[in-house]
Each structure stands twice: as structure tokens, then as C-alpha cells.
Chain A
Amino acid sequence: MQSVKPSGHSIMENTKRAVRAPTSVEAQEVHRYLMDFKWEFEKNRTKYGTKYEMANLTKEQFKLTAKEYARMEAIKEERQFGTLLDGLDRLDAANRVHPRWAEAMKVFANFLECGEYNAIAGSALLWDSAQSPEQKNGYLAQVIDEIRHSNQTAYVNHYFSKHGSDAAGHNNPRQLRSVGPAFRGIKRAFGDGFNAGDPVECSINLQLVAEACYTNPLIVALTEWAATNGDEITPTVFTSIQTDEMRHMANGYQTIVSVINDPKAKLHLNTDLNNAFWTQTKYFTPILGYLFEYFSRYKVEPWYKTWNRWVYEDWAGIWLGRLAKYGVTSPPSLREAKQDAVWSHHDVAILAYALWPLHHWRHELPDEVDMAWFEENYPGWYDRYGRIYDEWRKLGFEDPKSGFLPSAWLIENGYIPYVDHVSGVPFCPKLAKGACDLRILERNGRRYAFSDTYGEQQFLLEPERYEAQDFLTQFEGWELSEVIRAGGGLRSDGKTMIAQPHLRSDNMWTIDDIQRIGMKIPNPLKMH
């Protein structure tokens, strides 16, 4: 053996083995060293602190390297865009979607994009907070995934803009989102809830509740509703998104695993879970049910059944059951949520109809077929809601010359709408069949409305986190057409509105029809 001059480094006997056999390196062969990439140093601290302690040795379940991730995801992208741009284009798929459902996708794609985009920052927050290199790697993959999903959901709007029969609303969803009242809730639940808070609290919101629980109805169940209404575009994109969600659910599971040995976890975890569940369910339970049932011509099943399957049985039963050994218990708000799954989407639906000029979709009132289905599946529906829809129709709900605005009708008839300050979800105590308990608080000269105690408690504990004005306070006194213009709510002819109370091509409302009515945005908090 030959001695080697000191190089200052390891000197090895570099006998070559079978050096001419073709060999490569698998991702797992690199990933196994990942935990060694870290070294300890004095100032190695997270910039976003958590009240929990995240363990040093937590592993990830999906063990991807950057190159392997890219290989896998690139294949999914090729399939998805190939299907969209070759297959579905040739079939004129965008024009085979029922117009009602195509309107729903103006909302769904936009809602989901909010969540996906904000999850980029939410996952980065966790990457910053985690101590273990493998755990950081898992969160990083999610950061990149969320860029993918943000692009994909945007692409649904892009696709419908280019190929569908009504591009308006698909072509400027973000502009409309910036003002529209329907988006305050999503910005809280699927936006700030993911990335503005204690990192573990954000993980529970994002991964343990939103992804492990609500992406199932939002992404999986939705594909069936879409396909049954002629939409093959959305399932192509959304099922591809869902292939990544399993990794995110695993990240959420690992977050819990990483903190569970910290004695403080027992003090906070179930409270944070309850707050996160309430935050997500307060928005998604009514909104998903509303979109599924009121925007479909062909219905799959009543929303409460879907909710029971995915939220109550799959998530609260099986998924949380897996975490029971760590002391995780079902959130106390689950009971109220289960009751809300039956009626809260109908409560929100009637308010959404009432505010139709402020949206960016066309939406016709339930017809006889819908009403029969609602009554069959929700006995008592007609007496509470159906009769109002019938009355609105008689008063000229659809007719631009009628001068009828359902929001004005609500107020005139004592159905005062409020916005729950923490969740951003509108509610009307006099109309609601779901859980609703109006509470108004005053602080520093401002008034705040709440529809239940869970949100009120969050506000009372940390009011500085919830300073945003609700829509009605923010635009109080504005004439309705001014708000519509400010939010980009007009079509390219500069006068026809994007939002319409019917799906016909004739008799479309213009901004002049709204302006002529001269309605000013009221602030119900000042009526007390």
C-alpha cells in the first residue's frame, strides 16, 4: 500500500471496484443522509417562534429529493396539460359544461387559489420553524406543491376564459376577489389562517384540518359534482392536485408527532385544534354546500351526507382517531358543525342571492326541479327559503327594469344581515335555521358582530389579530354601482354586469340598472 502525502484530509485506499458497470444514484440513497445536513450552532433559531417545541429528529413520510420531486411532478403536469390542451380542447369540453356549473367554477377555482397561494407562505413558515432536516424537506416540498396548485387553480379560470361560453368572471377573478364580500371568509380560513399565527397553529389549520378534512369534499367530491354536470376540465386538474394533498396531510401528522413529546403540547393542542376546526368549518360547511347544491343542475347527494362522510366519519373518526394515542380529541365545536351541515348552506345561499350584484357569477333562482329536490332532502326548506325565492321572482328578481333588489327587500322585511367578524361569513339571525346566536361587542369605539361564541372567544383573546373591517362597515354609504365598478364587476362593453340573476343571454343587467335604484350600502351595526 502506498503512503500518501498529507493533504489534510482523509486519505483512502481508492481501489477501484467493478468500475465499468453502469450505475446511478436513487433518490432514497441521497435522502438517507438528509438528517446529517444539519449542524448545531449557537444562533440557530427559528424566526417564527412557536409555543410548542418541535423535535429535532422528526422524520418525513415521503422522502423526496428535489430532482425526484421534479421528475414525479413534471410527469403529472405533462399528463394534465396534455389532457386539457389536446384531449379536452378537441372535444370542446368547456362548452359541454352546464352553464350553471361553469358559473360555480368562477367561484371554486378562485376560492381554492386563495388557499393554495397562502399555503406557500404557510408551508414556508413551518419549514422555518421545524428543527429536523427531514421535516423541513417535507414542508419545502409542500411550498413547491402550493405554487403548483396556485398555478393550477388559476389555470382553470384561464381555461374557461379562453374556451368557455362566458369568460367574464373567469378572466378577472382576482380583481373581483379584492373587493367582493364573498371572499372575506376564504381570506380568513384559507388565507391568513394558514400563515399568520403560531406555526403549529397554522399547520393545524392548513394540514390537519383544511387539507386532511376539507380538501376531500372541496377537491374529491367536487370532481363528481363537476363531471355529472358536464365538466371534465375541473376533475382533470383537481384530482391531480389531490395527488399532492396526501403528502400535505402527512406533513400535518408529522407536525403533531414532532410536538407531542413537549409537555406544553397537552396544554394547547386540543384548543388550537378546536379553533382551527371552527375557523375552517365556519366557512367551508356553508359555502361548499351552497356551491354544490345551488349551482348544479344534476345533483349527486345532499351536502350533509357528503359532509358526514368526509368530515364526521373520515376525518373526525378515522384521521383524528389515529392521533388519539397522542392525546388529540375531537373538537368540541364538531357537534354544532354537524348540525350546521344540514342548514347553514341554505342560510348562506339566500344571503348570496340577496347580494347577487356584488358577485362575479351569474346565478339563477332555484326552479321547480331544484325546489322539489330541496324539499325532499331538507323537509321544511320551502317554508323557510323557497317561499322567499318565489316572492322575489314575482317581484322581478331577474328583470333589469324591475328596480328590485333582494338585499333591500331583506332589510325592509326585518331580515337584517350581519357579517361575523372573525370568520367573515354573513349571517341573518332572523332567517337562519343553522346555529346562530347574534352577539355584538364594542371595543375602542367600533362595533363587531359575531354569530357564535367560538369566534367571539378568539376575538376576545387576541383582538389585535382581527382588525379588518367587514364588508358592510368598509363600504358603508357607498352607492351599490360604485362598489361594483371598484371591484371590476363590469364586462368588456363597460356597462353590462358580470353578475346576473339569471343565465339567459338576453335581458342582462347593466350598471345603469343598478345605479337607477340608488341603493346605498347600510351598516347594520349602526341599527342597534
Chain B
Amino acid sequence: MKQGQSIRAAFEPERIMEIRKVSPAEPLEKQRTMSYYVVPEGKRLTEYEQLTAYAQQSADYAGGGIEVGEYQQKHAGGRGAYANETTEVINRDWFKFRDPDRRWFYPAVKAKAEDGRTADRFMKAASSEGLVRLIERDWIGFLDVDFGALTFYEYGLFNAHSSATKDSISDFVKTWVALTAFDKNDAAQMVQTERVFLSKQIENFDADLVRAKEVWTKSPIYAGIREAVERLWGDTYDWGEILWASHAIIDAIYGQFVRREFFQRIAPAYGDNITPWFLSQASGYAQTAKGGVRRLFGDNLANDPDFGLHNRAVIRAWTDKWLPVTLAGLRGFVGIYAQLPNASEKIAGRSVVEEGVERVMQDWATDFAHLIGYEADVAGLVAEVMSGMDPALAYRSDATKSIQPIS
């Protein structure tokens, strides 16, 4: 017999009979639930829990694991693959975390594939009805440059997740981190998808990112948030800090404001109903991430029976570190309102913007600051951001220097 020539027993009656003859008449084991020894989060062990729990083999010092002994091979210098020292927070049981959305591979890609099909249908429908015709020309520049800059923001946060995916200490956490990173990558790509979509319908709208990158890297509007993203991506090693700063501070404040309060709110005023639709997916992903962050940093870390106090102190220290840079980023960004052409008070007036900032900061305080007992002076934070709208501080994009209006 050679490879490729063997008989498939399922189609060979003689072999079927031989196998039947040696098979037990009755099942030998009654316990048919895989991973039956895992403590379920709810009443019954879910398929997500069965497939995920303890898939990771770690050294026995990884809190909550079931392994016995050391890693068989370690990094040069002697650190293990999933090591406690990769984060300042401590968990009695890292394996207790559960993604509130119970995502394992199949449900996760199924949902994203549905999002993709929905986007495809939306683009076909929107182009069929000529939705771009409603977009005012004054807004097109924002879609070229500022919306393009959002690509870099999302892409930078996505890349900050690489070491977090590597380092995170349990299977449940790692799966969640990787899928959350995947969403961030998707969010960056979906911004570019819209820009390509627009380029197919609007004369002279080029989907390239040259000018967007110029503004992202040079304009004071984005200097603050760009520095925050760069620090997180290139200069932050603690994976817990990366996740907390990404989702509980930077994206919860800056990302929410830019997506919801700026683009989703302002775009329709310029006849753009396409951008709010595209951003609804990224906003949805941010809410999914919020659920996981609250579960991990709240239920599992801030309320850890042994290390809760320590963890709260660490997470508050991270908040002290990342809140000011995020606020600086948003303070810079609100300078953009001064550049909105023909903008009415209703969309760009100081009080309206302030309401938006307040919504975001209040949400942040409710969703995250309270979780770790962080004293948040919402009014003070709002005022700090709003100082970016003061005429003396209003930023202008450097990009204007290289751009000649068509006349």
C-alpha cells in the first residue's frame, strides 16, 4: 500500500464489519462534557468555555493555570513565554476571565463576515441611489485628510496590541486580545474602504493617503493624539497597560469623540450619510472592546480577592499617565471646528461641542473611571479639552500650506 491508495473504511463493508466487531457494545465513559472540570461562568459550561479553557500551557506560576512545572524552553535570559512580569497587574486566576461576547473563532468570524456582507450591500445601495451627490464639496477635504488621518489612529492602536497578544497570560484573555486587535485593524481598513468607495464616485477624489499622512504627522491638530498612539505602540511594554490605555482611555475618549461626536454628528450636516454608516462598525467594535475591558480590569483585576487593592492602584497610576496625554490629544483635535466651512452654531458652536465633550467624558467616567475608583472631575476635564477651542489656541492644519484651493 502506498500513500494515496488506501481504502476508506467508511466505504468498505468488510472493514465496517471488522470495526463494528471490535467496538464496545456500550460507551465506556458517561462523562461526555469536554473540560467538565472547568468552573463555568454561568449555570452551564458553554462551548466557548469548553474549547478555550486551559488551551494554554504555561508555567505553574501563571495564576490560575493547571500546569505543573516550568516552561520547556524560555526566551534568552530566562523569561517564559507567558510571564507574570509582563504586566504590573496581578491576578489570582487569569483563566477566570470570560469575554462577555463569548467569542471563539467561529462566532467571531461569522459576525465579521456578516459585517462585510452588510458593508458590501450598503455600498451597492448607496452608490445605486447616488448618495454621494448629497455631499457638500466643502466636506470632501475632510474626508480626504481628516477621515484619512483616522486610518493612522486606528492602525497605530491596532499595532500596540501585538506584544499584548503575545504576552497576555491566559487563553481566555489572549483570544479576546487578539480578536479585539483584529477589530482595530478592521476599523483602520474600513476607513480606507470608504475612501476607496468615494474615489470611485467623486472626480478627483484620490484614495491615496499621502495628504492624510502629511496632516497626521505634521498638523498640531493631531500632534497630541499621534504622540499618545506612538508612545503606546512603540514605547509601552506592559500588556495590561496597553489594553487599559488603548480601550479604557484613548479610544474611550478620543476615539469615541472623533467617531461619534465629530464624524457621525457633523458629516450629515454636510450631506454625508455614508461616513456615519461606515463608522458604525468601528463604534460597535469599540463597544465590544469596552465589555471585555470592563470585565477584565473590573471584575477580574480591580476586584481580585487577593490583589484588588494593588491592581486598583496600578490601574489608577496608568490612568494618571494616559488621561493627560489623551486629553491633550482631544484638546488639539477640537481645534478642527474652527476649520469647518460655513459651519452653523448648531454643529460647531462652542456649547454644542462642549455638550459632545461632556457626553464623552461622562460616559468615560461611568464606564471606566468608576470601575477602579478613579476620582474624575468631569467638568474640569471637559474644560481642559474645551480650551482647545479658545481662539488664541485654535490650531490650523499645516496641510493648508501645501494645498492650493481650486478657483
Contacts and interface: CB of A to CB of B under 8 A. Distances in A.
A147 B399 CA distance: 42
Nearest to B80: A196
8 contacts: A5-B138, A20-B130, A147-B178, A151-B52, A154-B55, A168-B28, A230-B9, A298-B9
A124 B166 contact: yes
B375 interface: no
Contact of A37 (B133, B152, B210): B152
Given A187-B72, A467-B70, A37 B2 contact: no
Interface string A218-254: 0001001101111110000000000000000000000
Interface residues of A, number: 144
Interface stretch (A39-47, A255-263, A344-352, A379-387): A39-47
B403 A9 contact: yes
Contact of A16 (B10, B166, B179, B201): B201
Interface stretch (A89-97, A401-409, A433-441, A517-525): A89-97
B9 A228 contact: yes
A41 to B, nearest CB: 5
A113 B54 CA distance: 11
Contacts of B33: 161, 171
A144 B203 contact: no
A4 B340 CA distance: 12
Nearest to A15: B203
B28 A165 contact: yes
Interface residues of B, number: 147
Contacts of B25: 505
Contacts of B6: 224-225, 227-228, 298, 300
Q: 5 smallest A-B Cβ distances: which pairs? A: A9-B141, A67-B116, A188-B72, A70-B112, A66-B186
B341 A7 contact: yes
B146 interface: yes
Given A11-B405, A229-B9, A465-B78, A128 B163 contact: yes
Contact of A178 (B66, B396, B399): B66
Given A23-B197, A44-B233, A230-B19, A124 B192 contact: no
A193 B190 CA distance: 35
Contacts of B202: 12, 14-17
B67 A70 contact: no
Interface stretch (A28-36, A322-330, A332-340): A28-36
Contacts, number: 464
Interface in B335-355: 336, 339-342
B306 to A, nearest CB: 22
A271 interface: no
Contact of B178 (A143, A229, A232): A143
Nearest to A74: B113
Given A22-B128, A37-B152, A165-B24, A4 B72 contact: no
A300 B407 contact: no
A20 B146 CA distance: 26
A140 interface: yes
Nearest to A139: B162
B400 A8 contact: yes
Contacts of B189: 30, 34, 65-67
Contact of A298 (B15, B109, B208, B341): B15
A426 interface: no
Interface in B35-77: 35-37, 47, 50-57, 66-77
A8 B205 contact: no
Given A23-B127, A98-B22, A174-B66, A154 B197 contact: no
A256 B230 CA distance: 28
A127 B155 CA distance: 13
B151 interface: yes
A474 interface: yes
B30 to A, nearest CB: 6
B24 to A, nearest CB: 5
Contact of A124 (B124, B162, B171, B190): B162
Pick the most buried of B22, B73, B115: most chain A CB atoms within 10 A of its CB: B73
B238 to A, nearest CB: 10
Given A140-B182, A166-B28, A174-B35, A465 B174 contact: no
B216 interface: yes
Nearest to A2: B137
